[in-house]
Amino acid sequence: MFEIKHRDAMGRIGIMEVKGKRIETPLILPVINPRLQSISAREIEKIGFKSIITNSYIIYKNEELRELAVERGIHKMLGFGGLIMTDSGAYQLFEYGRVSVGAREIVEFQNSIGSDIGVMLDIPTPPDASYEKAEKDLNETLKRARESVEIPRKMPLAGTLQGSTHLKLREKSAREIGKLGFDVFAIGGVVPLMESYRFSELVRIIMHSKKFLPLNKPVHLFGCGHPMLFALAVANGCDIFDSAAYSLYAKDDRYVTAEGTLRLEDIYEFPCSCEVCSTYEPKEISSLDKKERETLLARHNLHAMLQEIRRVKQSIYEGSLWELVEKRARNHPYVLSALRTVLEYDLEKFDPVTKNSAFFYSGPESLRRPEVLRHLKKLNEIKFRAEKLVLLPEAEKPYARTYDIESSEDYHVCIASSVFGVIPLEIEEVYPLNQHEAPEPEKAQVEFMKTRVKKYSKNFERIFVHKSLKFLKGEVFEDLDMFRREGNIKIKMQAIADYQFGRGVGEVLFEDVRAEVAITGRIRRVYSGGVLLATLRAQDGFLILTPEGAKKLLRLPYPRNRVVVNKDAEEFVKEGKSVFAKFV
């Protein structure tokens, strides 16, 4: 049902296959009121939306709508050919305290009207509820979840996570509902947090929920419809969003952008080129009657939502989602606080090790990104022979060519980096060390560099620092000639292997090596005798092992540097199918 095509941060571009429809995520579902539509579902489809969500409980409670939906099906009733997800009435339960339908009954009804994705009827608990109330509500939600998932149906079903603002209950909810075989997981009970700009609490709930959910299913963040949150929520691992905000804001003369919300009366020039903003001036729309004004603003708001989702997808594809998140975080202090909260968590295992775009530093938060933390961790994996450390300032990349120097058995030469702390020249071509850009260092960067250099320097007997780095501890020098030695391919290749695969791998892979060097001076292929062991990929400096190179890793103790296949996958792999297709 859900195939992941591209990843960045915890975000992913995925394909959902539902009832013959192929829908791409991240995905925003405009909410359609089945009784009253400021913009029809058909118009929403023309704007470019391939999916919508509507409330099955409203349909169920209205005799005329119910008969129409059962007779014609939800798609013909709404006039929408794309994917239709139906909510169960939990919002009405949250707003009014009760609904007159059972959990089983509403799931069966959604199935009967041809919903593409249904939603179980959970018990939504508001933020800040007591632990006792939240636990009681959650236990009832879990009971309903177990009942709902067993109902015979043709439609996929979403299981909703609850727990108020109690993270332990959110984790319990994710663990239990994650076991039940739902097709989509929905994080509920968070709209009040978004309405009151409590975004840091929102991301904690997402992170503590995601931690215990299967990774092969999409996650729906209920009620998130403002484009200024899409990038952050996607980076946290959310795939699907929905909201009636486009219409609700329009009724209040509010104009949505990815940077925030503007009041129509305060707009001098529309910062958008959608069909509405290209046709009308702000004063023209202001002069229209309320219904016309509301319709035009709602249309623009839909365009703004769709445009931001597309921008998020593009950033995932090119590997620049973190840059987009940092950019959006600068639009509101509470979004920035939420980004800082996200960066408190260990995201390194979810973030791709190589990307199509460079690492751009945009503020102190960049120093806490997974790429930086991964580098600092991997530095500890490298075994160096030299006992003397030489520290040089940042310069034009590649550094080794600019300075005309390489590390040797006598001197370990590094760049004191304002982004990555320390960059050994042996590994400078590995992504993202040679593929990053930053402005002139600010105080936070300098302090970060000093801290990382101090820690790294403890591994060496003597430290030499260039005169421009005299604020660092070490023997100051000006003339670089005293450290120049003949380059050593073996030292370089062993360092790259340790950095990529782990400590000690370099010695196993490259005991005796020679290299094929391109006209640019970069190593392209590595041999042992006449046997090709590896190539270095040009775009990111990663080692790509040949079968002969990979066999050398078998000398390492089991199960290190191996993919271990479970017994239930053995026949699948023996048939020649890829182990990565399903089992990793």
Distance in angstroms (rounded) separating the CA atoms of residues 468 and 391: 10
Q: Which of 8, 87, 137, 498 is catalytic?
A: 87
- Contact between 112 and 68 under an 8 Å Cβ cutoff? The reply is no
Buried-exposed string 450-477: b where 16+ CB fall within 10 A, e elsewhere: bebbeebbeebeebbbbeebeebebeeb
Could you tell me the CA-to-CA distances from 390 to 99, 171, 295, 360, 463 in Å, in that order? 71, 48, 66, 26, 6
Distance in angstroms (rounded) separating the CA atoms of residues 237 and 325: 13
- Contact between 573 and 579 under an 8 Å Cβ cutoff? The reply is yes
Distance in angstroms (rounded) separating the CA atoms of residues 173 and 152: 23
The phi, psi pair for 7, rounded to 5°, reads -135, 150
**Nearest of 81, 80, 83, 162 to residue 120 by alpha carbon:** 162
The sheet with strand 421-424 has its strands ordered as 421-424, 411-417, 388-392, 462-466, 475-477
Distance in angstroms (rounded) separating the CA atoms of residues 430 and 403: 18
Three-state secondary structure of 168-224: HHHHHHHHHHHCCCCCEEEECCCHHHHHCCCHHHHHHHHHHHHCCCCCCCCEEECCC
DSSP-assigned letter for residue 565: P
Distance in angstroms (rounded) separating the CA atoms of residues 411 and 259: 50
Determine which helix (DSSP H) or strand (DSSP E) holds 528, and give its type and residue range: strand 523-528
SS3 assignment, position 430 = coil
Q: At how many degrees (to 10) do helices 489-501 and 370-379 cross?
A: 120
For the chain, the farthest-separated pair of C-alpha atoms sits apart, in whole angstroms, at 89
Helix, strand, coil proportions of the chain in percent (round to 5)? 45, 20, 40
Q: How many CA atoms lie within 13 A of 311 on its CB side?
A: 20
The yes-or-no answer on residue 87 being catalytic is: yes
The phi, psi pair for 257, rounded to 5°, reads -135, 170
Q: Which residues are catalytic?
A: 87
